[in-house]
Amino acid sequence: MDNSAIVAVASIVAAALTIAVGSIAPALGEGKAVAQALASIAQQPDESNTITRTLFVGLAMVESTAIYCFVVSMILIFANPFWDYFTAVTP
């Protein structure tokens, strides 16, 4: 197996791990946030607008982590910075 094949396999494995870990943690965080928001709305229905607005801002912040992981995995697959180096070095 030559260097370019090793870089390709390592990039695909790294992208898979990035997406796997980077999507599990935000999913758990979003689930917990929604559960807490529903519990808060059930206890204080008059504050539902404030709780909902804060919930959506928090969900957007948590979801940005998953989006960043997705972007990193797409860079590793389609625009790998190491690929050009190894294709230039390998004859």
DSSP code per residue over 19-49: HHHHHHHHHHHHHHHHHHHHHHHHH-GGGHH
Q: What is the pLDDT along the chain (91 residues), one digit of tens a residue?
A: 777 788 888 888 989 999 998 899 999 999 999 999 999 999 999 999 999 999 999 999 999 999 999 998 888 888 887 777 777 765 5
What is the model's pTM? 0.72
User: Chain centroid to CA 67: how far?
Assistant: 5
The length of the chain is 91
- In the chain, where the domains are located: 3-84
What CATH number belongs to 3-84? 1.20.20.10
* Angle between helical axes of 48-78 and 3-43 (0-180°, round to 10): 180
What pLDDT does 70 receive?
A: 92
Residues 6+ apart with CB under 8 A from 29: 62
Q: In the prediction, which pLDDT does 77 show?
A: 85
